[in-house]
């Protein structure tokens, strides 16, 4: 399903000139031109795009400081070459004879251009000629849905999400407890448990990775901490816990605590479960499997002495 979209006038003019000039001559790389090399699905020469058009004489070849310095050959090299990328429009595809880029902004998912899909993205085409019968000229290009980048270049949104996630520092709980580690508590009295809160120990923590005009932001946050108390009991808390104050006396923690029933020395292991999700500028969303981090402390529990 195709849907027409208008291009800026300056781009329409540029593309119109290119369409007139295209002739069915053999590809430049077929002649063994050493200045031409393949880059993904288009072909680029080693010519640097000038910051400004050359003075005197007329014509040609692409300009603009925002381009990537590479230029594309399409076979009609006697008039050639032009930029591999037009900023804000897309990269040149030799096979389709079109500039293709991620539509920005993406149409709402209710737009028929999505064809009912909820994955993938909408891509913008600006074509130099009627290749494959696609609209050009005053129609100004068109948009189409693709599950993946039609140029087949660059990482996917999920791959960028993984890259961003790999750069995150996610730690276990920075444990606080009452009684504190090393101090002796008493059988039957409350033990308070908590973690100091920071982006590394509780979240939320965000990280962004970008490539080829696509950006993905990953957000990680602890959804629970499972406290293995060392006596066979596990206390699962969905809050970071509340730091203890002397004024609380012998009351139980309101959100994360325990009472030991036997004398002993116990190792407390806190396992933090991080939930991770991501959003991309092309409208895609997703999750990364939960990941866990652990930390530990100790508790000493003595007998409660009753004085008559």
Cβ burial, residue 73 (10 Å; 0-12/13-18/19+): buried
Residue 15's closest CA among 69, 86, 103, 73?
Answer: 86
Hey, what CATH class is 157-302 in? Answer: mainly beta
Give the model's pLDDT for residue 11. 44
Going by their DSSP bridges, the two strands 85-86 and 3-4 should be labelled as unpaired
- Sign for the CA dihedral angle at 34, 23, 137, 5 comes to negative
Domains of the chain, residue spans: 3-146, 157-302
All residues at 6 or more sequence positions from 100 whose CB lies less than 8 Å from its CB, including other chains: 90, 91, 92, 93, 123, 124, 125, 126, 150, 151
pLDDT tens series, the chain, 308 aa:
444 444 444 344 444 444 433 333 333 323 333 333 333 333 333 333 333 333 333 333 333 333 444 455 444 333 345 577 777 777 877 667 778 888 888 899 999 999 999 899 998 888 775 434 333 332 467 889 998 888 776 678 998 999 999 999 999 999 999 999 988 889 999 999 999 999 999 999 999 988 766 889 999 999 999 999 999 999 999 999 999 999 999 999 999 999 999 999 999 999 999 999 999 998 999 999 999 999 999 999 998 765 55
Q: Are 66 and 89 in contact (CB under 8 A)?
A: no
- Sign for the CA dihedral angle at 134, 136, 139, 145 comes to positive
- φ and ψ at residue 12, rounded to 5 degrees: -60, -45
Q: Are 269 and 238 in contact (CB under 8 A)?
A: no
- φ and ψ at residue 290, rounded to 5 degrees: -50, 145
Give the model's pLDDT for residue 212. 65
């Amino acid at each position: 399903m195709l849907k027409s979209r208008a291009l800026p006038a300056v781009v329409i003019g540029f593309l119109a000139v290119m369409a007139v000039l295209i002739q069915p001559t053999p590809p430049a790389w077929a002649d063994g031109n050493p200045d031409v090399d393949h880059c993904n699905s288009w072909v680029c020469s080693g010519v640097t795009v000038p910051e400004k058009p050359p003075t005197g004489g007329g014509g040609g070849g692409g300009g603009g400081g925002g381009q990537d310095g590479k230029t594309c050959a399409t076979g009609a090299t006697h008039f050639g070459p032009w930029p591999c990328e037009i900023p804000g429009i897309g990269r040149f595809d030799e096979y389709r004879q079109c500039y293709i880029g991620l539509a920005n902004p993406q149409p709402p998912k209710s737009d028929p251009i999505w064809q009912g899909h909820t994955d993938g993205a909408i891509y913008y085409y600006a074509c130099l000629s009627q290749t494959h019968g696609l609209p050009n000229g005053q129609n100004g290009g068109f948009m189409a849905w693709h599950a993946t980048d039609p140029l087949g270049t660059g990482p996917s949104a999920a791959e960028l999400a993984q890259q961003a996630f790999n750069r995150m520092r996610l730690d276990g709980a920075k444990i606080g407890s009452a009684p504190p580690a090393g101090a002796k508590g008493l059988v039957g009295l409350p033990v308070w448990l908590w973690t100091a809160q920071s982006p590394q120990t509780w979240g939320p923590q965000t990280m962004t990775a970008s490539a080829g005009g696509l950006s993905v932001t990953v957000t990680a946050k602890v959804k629970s901490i499972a406290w293995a108390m060392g006596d066979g009991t596990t206390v699962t808390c969905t809050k970071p816990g509340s730091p203890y104050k002397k004024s609380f006396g012998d009351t139980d923690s309101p959100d994360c605590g325990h009472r030991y029933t036997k004398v002993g020395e116990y190792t407390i292991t806190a396992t933090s479960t991080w939930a991770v999700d991501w959003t991309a500028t092309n409208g895609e969303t997703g999750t990364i499997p939960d990941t866990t981090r652990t930390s530990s402390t100790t508790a000493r529990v003595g007998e409660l002495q009753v004085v008559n």
